[in-house]
Amino acid sequence: MTILDPSTPYSIVSAASSNATSVRTAGGYVILAQATNSGAGWAYLKIYDTAGVPNVGTDTPIWRLGLPPGGGSLESKRFFVKTGFAFAIVGGTGLDTDTTAVAAGQVLPNFLI
């Protein structure tokens, strides 16, 4: 079997917070970003190009995925980050300044990096 695009899976279950997380501290491709929202309201997966943990509400994400309520799922494929790969999950408006916590277990993000 030939592996054409080696990648490492990364997945979490959301905590009752904005879930600011640093996944990779170097540049490179993110092969897949996918998330499911089981909550009653919208949730937003924010992607950051940073080597550290993002400062949610202050740092500007490079990509935002709006996750519809009630089991809604979205994905984004193959994008490049220069500095590092980090994310946050919020449950408010999805604006860059939003820091609204999602519920524990509400959002299930999965990545191939």
Give the pLDDT confidence of 45-59 residue by residue, as tens digits. Answer: 999 999 999 999 999
Give the start-to-end residue ranges of the domains of the chain.
Answer: 9-112
Q: Which of 59 and 2 is assigned the larger pLDDT?
A: 59
Please state, rounded to an integer, the average pLDDT across all residues of the chain: 92
Closest CA to 30 of 9, 4, 45: 9
44 residue type, one letter: Y
Portion of the chain with pLDDT greater than 90, in percent: 81
Whole-structure pTM value: 0.91
Task: Return d(Cα 75, Cα 73) in angstroms, integer.
Answer: 7
The stretch 86-113 carries a mean pLDDT of 94
Q: Which CATH architecture has domain 9-112?
A: Sandwich (2.60)
